[in-house]
Structure 1
Amino acid sequence: MTASLPSPAARSGRRSLKSRLARGEQLHGVLLRLPSETLVEMAGVAGLDYVVVDCEHGPADTALLQHHLTAAAAQGIDVLVRVGTSEPALALRCLDLGAAGIIHPHIESAQDARRAVEAVHYPPLGTRGFATYSRAGRFGTVPAAEHVAASREALVVAMIETERACAAAEDIAATQGLDAILVGPADLAADCGFPAQGVIEGLTAEVHRATRAAGRSVMTIVPGAEGARAAGRAGAQLVLCNMAQVLMDTFRSLAAPEPRGSGSAGVWERRRPGPGPA
């Protein structure tokens, strides 16, 4: 008889992202488009709650994703995966590898949202193909009932990225089984013809209102620490920093010359090249 083995989260004493959201916690993570297990580990060591591996605008290789998930498990940090399309088989593979949830792009309607939920959950909640001989099922060592119970903790996040989707926000947010909504500001701006920033902010605010009214969590993507603090004050429960922008801002600050006489200590100062070693 196969013994019941605890899930990775249970073994480490961690609660799932879904249960933490239900308790009203605010969770902070980073969006990773650059393939790097080391960055995933660093995020865990730094104390972040989750990493989003972007398989839409970043590499969509499942073997590479498995390396990132393994690194995350070693440091006790959860991984959400943004898939490139609404194809259920993609969500299934990511979840079988051990992802804590799926971010579905291009959700335009309640019907799209329902399909997204179904792709993540096993029957009767969804249509996900059942398998326990996977990383998520600990290679067949977890009883089926326990594996199904653990799968119900997977997060389902819908991305709203068009004006049409914004108009359908109330219907999308009302979808049973949906956990959170993320507005994609870049795609939304492109869909609206790159209007004034206030237009995008207004549409985003309307989506956030609909999200909260339906009892779902707001996920917000921000450029850095200052934006993260502002999003937190505004009530976002899932705050997501764009890692590429954080790194670029850091590199630019290091490349910028430090004004002479500023008195700053420990800051690199651009100097003229010396004569080199003798």
Structure 2
Amino acid sequence: MPIRVEPTFAEALTAADRPLAGMWICSGSPLVAEICAGSGLDWLLIDAEHSPNGLESILAQLQTVHGYPVQAVVRPPVNDTVLLKQYLDLGVQNLLIPMVNSAAEARAAVAAVRYPPHGVRGVGSALARASRWNRIPDYLARASETVSVTVQIESTAAVAAVEEILAVDGVDAVFLGPSDLAASMGLLGEQEHPKVRAAVEHCLDAAKAAGKPAGVNAFNEATAKAYLDAGASFVLVGADVAMLARGSETLAAKFVPAPGPDEEYDGGARPSY
């Protein structure tokens, strides 16, 4: 039975009449991913760079969120040809490649998602979920149409090269990471610094001039709205683990007495009251 190919994140960005809002999925939990998939947000970023996600957990989350009206984007830990091949064979359609600092690195990412002669992706479609085990008609010829590549701009080198990166054929969008960008500017932990925000807005302007979408990570609501006003096409505005951490802290603050002046919580069992 022929299987329908889902639209990519790049196609969703092109078709949208407004910026797309999403959140990070960092817990590694398919259940949490499914809860977030039904939230009404436009897209989810399943992260494997700073989160406990391997091939099996990524596969489980892709299967869990499939069928919900949400785009699933996956961030690998590194721009590596072999790892990207495995992600693609799992059925990852939308990749966010971290730490892309040059046009050459962007071209390497694009080559990794395309079969020869246009790239270097290894051929194993008969064994792979990507082709639904050869149930997608003409998958080998059409594979590049089923994949979108967004590259992450998160260093001063990448900002300096953003026009060249945007010009790479096969780069569908760029995504700005203010936290690592701030660190590379000697402003660790100061992603709201005016110099960092100016660099982000420079990249948003460059993307607009190139005719490609640009997104940004911004958990601060006012900052997110400012970047949207500056031309961001998509944003990440929260994370599952951060929401759970802050929500549970709020509950504790409401219902658990604060330690006395001579008490200090050491991370073990809480004292009884």
On whether the aligned pair clears a TM of 0.5, the verdict is yes
1:37 Cα deviation (Å)? 0.7
Does 1:39 pair with 2:32? yes
Q: State the alpha-carbon separation in 2 of the partners of residues 229 and 130 from structure 1.
A: 43
Aligned-partner residue type, residue 185 of structure 1: P
Is the partner of 2:214 in helix, strand or coil?
A: strand
1:23 aligns with 2:15: yes
Letter of the aligned partner of 1:27 in structure 2? L
Partner of 1:221: 217
Q: Secondary structure at the match of 1:121?
A: coil
- Runs of 5+ unmatched residues, structure 1: 10-14, 258-268, 273-278
Q: CA deviation at 1:132?
A: 2.1
Alpha carbons of structure 1 residues 225 and 70: separation in structure 2 relative to 1, 3 Å? farther
Report 1:163-202 matches (<5 A).
Answer: 163-194=156-187, 197-202=193-198
Query: Judging changes above 3 Å, is the alpha-carbon distance between structure 1 residues 22 and 124 closer, same or farther for their aligned structure 2 residues?
Result: farther
| CA deviation profile, 1:174-204 (whole Å, cap 9, x unmatched) | 1111111112212111111117611111111
**Cα distance between partner residues in 1 of 2:140 and 2:43:** 21
Letter in 2 for 1:19: E
Are 1:18 and 1:153, in contact at CA under 8 Å, matched by a contact in 2? no
Unmatched segments (≥5 aa) in structure 2: 259-273
Q: Of the candidates 84, 102, 107, which is equivalent to residue 95 of structure 2?
A: 102
Contact kept? 1:19, 1:153, Cα under 8 Å = no
Q: What is the TM-score with the length of structure 2 in the denominator?
A: 0.82
- Other structure's SS at 1:139 match: coil
How many equivalent residue pairs? 252
CA RMSD of aligned residues (A): 2.4
Identical columns (%): 30
Q: Following superposition of structure 1 onto structure 2, how do residues 1-278 of structure 1 map, counting pairs within 5 Å? A: 3-7=1-5, 9=6, 15-25=7-17, 26-133=19-126, 134-143=128-137, 145-146=138-139, 148-149=141-142, 151-194=144-187, 197-223=193-219, 227-243=223-239, 244-257=241-254
From the superposition, tell whether residues 69 and 199 of structure 1 become closer, same or farther in structure 2 (CA, over 3 Å): same
Return closer, same or farther for 1:206/1:224 CA change in 2, 3 Å cut-off.
closer
